Amino acid sequence: MGVEKIKMSNFKEPKPEDNIKEKEKNESVEYVSFFEMFRYASMIDILLMITGTISAVSNGAIFPAIMLVFSNVIDGFTEYGKNCNNTLIQMTNANFTDIEINPLTSRLRIQIIYFLVLGFLTMILSYFQVAFWLMPSQRQARAIRKNLFSSILKQDIGWFDVYKSGELTNRLTDDVDKIKDAFGDKFANAIQNFSTFIGGIVIGFVKGWKLTLVILSLSPLILASAIMFTKIAQVLTSNELKSYASAGAVAEEVFTAIRTVFAFNGAQKEHKRYESKLDEAKKYGIRKATINGLLMGFISIVINGAYALGFWYGWTLSLKIDPNTGLPEYTIGKILLVFFSIITAIFSLGNAGPFIGTLATGRGAAFEVFKIIDRKPSIDTSSNEGEKPNDVTGNIEFDNVNFNYPSRPDIKILNGLNLKVKSGSTVALVGSSGCGKSTCIQLIQRFYDPLNGNVKLDGNNLRSLNVKWLRSQIGVVNQEPILFSTTIKENIRFGKENVTDEEIIEAAKNANAHDFIMSLPDNYDTKVGDRGGQLSGGQKQRIAIARALVRNPKILLLDEATSALDNESESIVQAALDKARLGRTTIIVAHRLSTILNADVIFAFEDGKVKEYGTHTDLMSKKGLYYKLVITQQASMDSQASLRKINPTIDENSKLDSIKENILMSEKSNEFDSKENEEKGEKKEKKKDVSMFKVLKLNGPEWYFIVIGCLASLISGAVQPAFSIVFSKAIFIFSECDIKKQEQSIILYSILFIVFGIVTFISNLLQNSMFGISGENLTKRLRSKGFETMLKQEIAWFDSPDNSVGKLCTKLAVEAAAVQGAAGIRIGALLMNLGNLGIGLILALVYGWAIALTILAFVPFMIIGGVLQTKMLTGFSGKDKEVLEEAGKISIEAISNVRTVAIFNKENYFWNLYSKKLDVPYKAAIRSSNISAFMLGFTSSITFYAMAAAFALGAYLVEKNLFGITFENIMLVFSCIIFGAQSVGQASSLMPDYAKAKTAVDSMFQLFERQTKINNYESTNGITLEDKDLKTDITVESVEFCYPNRPEAKILKGLNLTVKEGQRIAFVGSSGCGKSTVTQLLERFYDPDNGMIKLNNVNLIDYNLHWLRSKFGIVSQEPILFDMTIHENIAYGDNSRQVSREEVIEAAKKANIHDFISNLPKGYETNVGSKGTQLSGGQKQRVAIARALVRDPKILLLDEATSALDTESEKIVQEALDRAQQGRTCIVIAHRLSTIRDSDVIYVLQNGVVTEMGSHDELMNMGGFYTKINKY
């Protein structure tokens, strides 16, 4: 097994940095070998496929067998028509009733029995052929998905820096489906066609090798064209897949960051970005359809050329007398047997053409998928290799470590770093953003390996240790904690397997999380939502701390672990952490120097190495880098509050926990898996049965392409019945006594055959290219409209579990593509088959109505079988779709948060969840495979029974000389029957695709027709004002609000407050009080349930939504950046116009990020990576601040805007924000109380209402809640 350009076994396992080069270069298309596709076939699968193959081969041989029966029928009729021995007579007007009929009746009775037997065999063999290939394809697709997901999860983090999560999830869905199609029932049909080809060739050579060789002389043209066009199609398919993967990555990124997109009015911009990827895919799809049309058309010319050549040469052979027998060398029966066998063989080879294309598509998709599966990560979490020491003391050493991130090899992060951490000690890493602090944390976890030098644990190089074992010794709490969409209990349990409920509760108590957990309706069984979106930032942080503590780690890594906690909680949690540090090696990355005063050693970083180290006292006395950081931080705070930060004798201050009921800009979907999974006041919508005509209406702009395609399809279908007329006359001409007349007729008919070939070539090309254009445009339009409709929905819609990021991405990737099962090229195929069948039946009625009516009696059985098949498959398809969306949700959650998955060794946990979700559609698919196979076999057998009845009746009518039926009439009707039957078979093969399409259409139109409550995509109505007319006074009047997914938990309970223009307002309060909810209502992410919010004395809902949001500038605690350049991310702040580079630079300077950007090799054109992973937390925050400032907002919403900055940067950025606030209304949500002391009004919120308000001094004199939290 291997690949055709690179053998799988010979893959050079690239380092992560090699992937960058791979992605940048224009790769040639590669695909796996045929046998490599079956690498995941089990012994049962192999046995099933062998049985299916034997059935397909046998089924394919039936058609040549039919030709033998047919030959005997022809001989019976011709012998019956002879009324003189060895004398040529005029047979055109022969009266068959004058001849003895018993021999004909006797002979045809046997042949009719053969037809019935072959029909029964077809039913049985068709079932085994289809079922025994569909079932293994489902099993293997499931195995491929499982192995692919497993391989993705075990890749090193450097690999994820390059590959977008959306692209990877697209591989799991769309690409695996293409592989499945390549060896499912379509492949079984290809085997059947090849069997028919071989059987026809064998009969041809046995019965008449001369004529066979002449006809076969044209077959190399078919093979050569098929190979050439298939090669081209492979290139186009690969490019198409890559474009769709890129589109999927865009969708995933947008849905993950949906609040950022809406806040900056970026929906239309993102829609255009998504469409640009779809345009690329559409271009390749149209080219592929045109290539397919050229191939089919060329094959048609060759086949019709074979008819012309075969009839002419067969006629010449019929004139030759065999000297041994004295009879003609070739009788008409023999000529037709050979001719039909060879033509059927060639025709079958042509039918296999589309399946070759499907196989090529699957092989191309398999190459991309198997390449990921076969990739050996440089750091393999699944490997059992490596040492697992019995005891860990916790000594850590960095020995001359050099490092740069694989995705940015030109930027050195660590430059000969040397430091030692003694067992049981607490060390702190400080320094400006980008100096390498967090990089050290990642190297200790072995997310990356150093380029040079070593990182050691207890003297052991980390490379020599087992990765899973190493990570199990480490507890990590990051600045931006990631929780998973399960219960609080399970999230804490992630820290340690088999932990008891008592230990979970104890860890929660130590993290000061127990009380708020018990206040929730479901306590520890409360679902936290997607990425913890149902919890506030402080609540998430405490759950993350509990998760780290429950595993009782030997090494504790804290990256601003208490940054999201309020003052009271922080003091308690800090005490818990201080206690937890005892006996453990603890490394703290800190911006807030107050949290590291008691560290045993403080390492001050600069330019990727340690500039100085020592205790706080030692470093302060040196007055070096650390001293400057402390002085800078002191200067940025009000004297008394600040002194408490630096002086150990003064109580520590801390951040106040912002409620984050539904984080304003953290982009966590507000998913809440409660029993009520419906939007407030709205019942879950029932699925509607949508007519396919509604889909075709979406193809309206391409109506002229569709009209041309329909005409071309009908012409293609009409050619076959017309061919039948010429064909029957060509057969009957052999009964002509006048040799000259025979010759003239044969030449005429041969020319007509060639004309038919040319017409079919043109019609096939037009059919495929026109429907290719319309179909690809429809697919693009469905994806685009689906994406656009999703972007129109209100935030509450995204909060629903039914609309998680994974489900929405799966819907776009799978359903829009599935609609092609009933549109595009398949419409052409259906019309062609209907034209063939319809016109054929009309001709049959004209030339032999009695026989035609007999055949029509069997048509209802075919229709009933097809309808039942479609109905049942549609039901199964709908269930499959729902469960696969659930699996997609799991895969996206795991891949998007792969660092958290890795540190807690939860790869197997998510793999098991994903696998269980795949088991459900697999079982349904097995049932649908059996039903589909049975129905297909049933409809196929009906054709044979109809043929038996037609010949039996035909013999009787000729025998009795009824209705003027002649041998020529029977041949014409038979010809129409045989080719019409093929059309029915081809139409039946489209039923599974139609079933999937129907299910997808119902789902897509349910989305399209949903009425959104707040249209986030377009805003054409509402009030807009000139800036000079806008007064930014804000009033909140008796506002009540609860989140739609949690109607039982009221957040705001009659809130009243006032903000005057130009004022600086601050909100403080404990978790759940409603601070961030107010900012979300100001942005109109939601509307109040009761009461109203006014701007300039006008209700917010009366304003134009886009205009309203353009007046706000938002900087959140956890900024989300897009996978674009730094320039594009900053310019994203104002999507209403083209932001110039000068404006971007000016905003960057104000945010103190310009110097850093300028020192990057690509400057402002540097890509920040998915979610900004290529930047440090402080760098991301400054880019986010620049993004807010570039739009020159009238109102600033600051949610801990400087929380992620180092001391030096914070001072400058705070000054920039202070300047930016001049002349603007500013609303601040604060944890660090020193940043709001100068506010004009501070509102204290508790239980959804204002309990205190006033200036800092006024509130301190009240002696209330504000006074209390200032003591911490």
Per-residue pLDDT reduced to its tens digit, 967-982: 677 778 767 766 665 5
Contact 695, 1001 (CB under 8 A): yes
**CATH no. for residue 804?**
1.20.1560.10
For 687, which DSSP code? P
How far is 401 from 413, CA to CA, in rounded Å?
Answer: 10
**In this predicted structure, what is the pLDDT of residue 79?**
64
Determine the angle formed by the axes of helices 332-374 and 219-256, rounding to 10 degrees: 30
Residues 6+ away with beta carbon under 8 Å from 713: 763, 767, 771, 827, 828, 829, 830, 831, 832, 835
Torsion sign across C-alpha atoms 1244, 1248, 1249, 1251 = negative
* For the ranges 25-34, 1140-1149, 1196-1205, the one whose mean pLDDT is highest: 1140-1149
**In this predicted structure, what is the pLDDT of residue 868?**
65
How far is 1158 from 67, CA to CA, in rounded Å?
Answer: 78
Q: Which has more confidence, 457 or 929?
A: 457
Domain boundary among 599, 628, 646: 646
How far is 247 from 251, CA to CA, in rounded Å?
Answer: 6
Q: Flag whether 1063 is in a domain.
A: no
**In this predicted structure, what is the pLDDT of residue 148?**
92
**In this predicted structure, what is the pLDDT of residue 570?**
67
How far is 910 from 150, CA to CA, in rounded Å?
Answer: 9
At 1222, is the secondary structure helix, strand, or coil?
coil
Determine the angle formed by the axes of helices 991-1008 and 739-792, rounding to 10 degrees: 30
Closest C-alpha to 546, from 588, 517, 519: 517
Contact 378, 448 (CB under 8 A): no
- Residue 768 pLDDT > 60: yes
pTM: 0.63
φ, ψ at 267 (rounded to 5°): -60, -50
Reported as type and span, the H/E element at residue 36 is none
Q: Flag whether 1092 is in a domain.
A: no
- Residue 654 pLDDT > 60: no
How far is 838 from 856, CA to CA, in rounded Å?
Answer: 11
**In this predicted structure, what is the pLDDT of residue 625?**
86
Query: Average pLDDT for residues 618-624, to the nearest whole number?
Result: 88
Closest C-alpha to 921, from 866, 961, 880, 881: 880
Closest C-alpha to 558, from 658, 660, 438, 654: 438
Q: Flag whether 1031 is in a domain.
A: no
**In this predicted structure, what is the pLDDT of residue 1206?**
60
User: Are 403 and 362 in the same domain?
Assistant: no
How far is 1084 from 1062, CA to CA, in rounded Å?
Answer: 21
| Structure confidence at residue 587 as a pLDDT band (50, 70, 90) | very high
Domain boundary among 604, 620, 646: 646
| Structure confidence at residue 94 as a pLDDT band (50, 70, 90) | very low
Report the number of distinct structural domains present in the chain: 3
Contact 332, 318 (CB under 8 A): yes
Contact 554, 582 (CB under 8 A): no
Amino acid found at 907: E
- Residue 597 pLDDT > 90: no
At 666, is the secondary structure helix, strand, or coil?
coil
- Residue 608 pLDDT > 90: no
How far is 196 from 67, CA to CA, in rounded Å?
Answer: 11
How far is 716 from 829, CA to CA, in rounded Å?
Answer: 9
For residue 125, give both structure tokens: 């063999």
Closest C-alpha to 1114, from 1204, 1172, 1184, 1177: 1184
φ, ψ at 327 (rounded to 5°): -105, 165
Amino acid found at 976: C
User: Are 366 and 402 in the same domain?
Assistant: no
Query: Average pLDDT for residues 935-953, to the nearest whole number?
Result: 80
Query: Average pLDDT for residues 280-300, to the nearest whole number?
Result: 85
Tell me the residue range of the domain where 121 lies.
8-373+713-1008
Q: Flag whether 1269 is in a domain.
A: no
Closest C-alpha to 881, from 821, 952, 964: 821
**In this predicted structure, what is the pLDDT of residue 1204?**
55
φ, ψ at 1197 (rounded to 5°): -110, 110
Place of tokens 């006629």: 315
For 100, which DSSP code? -
- Over the stretch 1198-1225, which tens digit does the pLDDT of each residue have? 877 766 556 666 666 677 677 667 778 9
387, β-bridge pairs = 465
User: What is the chain's mean pLDDT, rounded?
Assistant: 79
Place of tokens 């890594």: 557
- Residue 536 pLDDT > 50: yes
**In this predicted structure, what is the pLDDT of residue 1128?**
92
Q: Flag whether 368 is in a domain.
A: yes
Percent above pLDDT 90 for the chain? 13
**In this predicted structure, what is the pLDDT of residue 1087?**
92
Q: How far is CA 1174 from CA 461, 688, 729, 1122, 1203, in A?
A: 26, 45, 75, 11, 19
Query: Average pLDDT for residues 1149-1173, to the nearest whole number?
Result: 86
- Residue 293 pLDDT > 50: yes
Torsion sign across C-alpha atoms 671, 677, 683, 684 = positive
**In this predicted structure, what is the pLDDT of residue 639?**
33
Q: In what order do the strands lie in the sheet with 460-461?
A: 414-421, 396-403, 452-457, 460-461
- Residue 1041 pLDDT > 70: yes
Q: Flag whether 235 is in a domain.
A: yes
User: Are 934 and 790 in the same domain?
Assistant: yes
**CATH no. for residue 1174?**
3.40.50.300
User: Are 799 and 934 in the same domain?
Assistant: yes
Query: Average pLDDT for residues 585-598, to the nearest whole number?
Result: 81
- Over the stretch 366-414, which tens digit does the pLDDT of each residue have? 888 999 999 888 888 888 888 988 888 889 999 999 998 887 777 788 9
Q: Flag whether 1049 is in a domain.
A: no
User: Which value, in Å, is the radius of gyration of the alpha carbons in the chain?
Assistant: 38
- Residue 826 pLDDT > 70: no
- Over the stretch 691-700, which tens digit does the pLDDT of each residue have? 667 777 777 8
| Structure confidence at residue 542 as a pLDDT band (50, 70, 90) | confident
User: Are 436 and 500 in the same domain?
Assistant: yes
| Structure confidence at residue 89 as a pLDDT band (50, 70, 90) | very low
- Residue 1088 pLDDT > 90: yes
**In this predicted structure, what is the pLDDT of residue 916?**
86
- Over the stretch 1043-1076, which tens digit does the pLDDT of each residue have? 887 777 788 989 999 999 888 999 988 766 888 8
Determine the angle formed by the axes of helices 185-216 and 332-374, rounding to 10 degrees: 140
User: Are 747 and 783 in the same domain?
Assistant: yes
**In this predicted structure, what is the pLDDT of residue 736?**
65
Closest C-alpha to 183, from 122, 128, 132, 239: 132
Q: Flag whether 752 is in a domain.
A: yes
User: Are 363 and 443 in the same domain?
Assistant: no
Query: Exposure pattern of 835-856 as b/e (b: 16+ CB <10 Å)?
Result: bbbbbbbebbbebbebbbebbe
Q: Which has more confidence, 1243 or 1236?
A: 1243
User: Are 435 and 401 in the same domain?
Assistant: yes
How far is 207 from 227, CA to CA, in rounded Å?
Answer: 30
| Structure confidence at residue 1130 as a pLDDT band (50, 70, 90) | very high
The C-alpha angle 430, 1121, 592, rounded to 5 degrees, equals 20
Q: CA torsion angle for 1015, 1057, 569, 574 (degrees, to 10)?
A: 80
Amino acid found at 916: K
| Structure confidence at residue 650 as a pLDDT band (50, 70, 90) | very low
Count, residues in the chain: 1272
Q: Which has more confidence, 990 or 1109?
A: 1109
**In this predicted structure, what is the pLDDT of residue 640?**
32
| Structure confidence at residue 1241 as a pLDDT band (50, 70, 90) | very high
| Structure confidence at residue 867 as a pLDDT band (50, 70, 90) | low
**In this predicted structure, what is the pLDDT of residue 1107?**
92
User: Are 328 and 421 in the same domain?
Assistant: no
User: Are 360 and 406 in the same domain?
Assistant: no
Q: How far is CA 780 from CA 169, 246, 275, 278, 819, in A?
A: 19, 14, 8, 6, 11
Q: Which has more confidence, 828 or 1187?
A: 1187
* For the ranges 266-270, 326-330, 868-872, the one whose mean pLDDT is highest: 266-270
Lowest mean pLDDT among 328-337, 494-503, 605-614: 328-337
How far is 234 from 712, CA to CA, in rounded Å?
Answer: 26
- Residue 164 pLDDT > 90: no
User: Are 635 and 751 in the same domain?
Assistant: no
User: Are 223 and 311 in the same domain?
Assistant: yes
| Structure confidence at residue 690 as a pLDDT band (50, 70, 90) | low
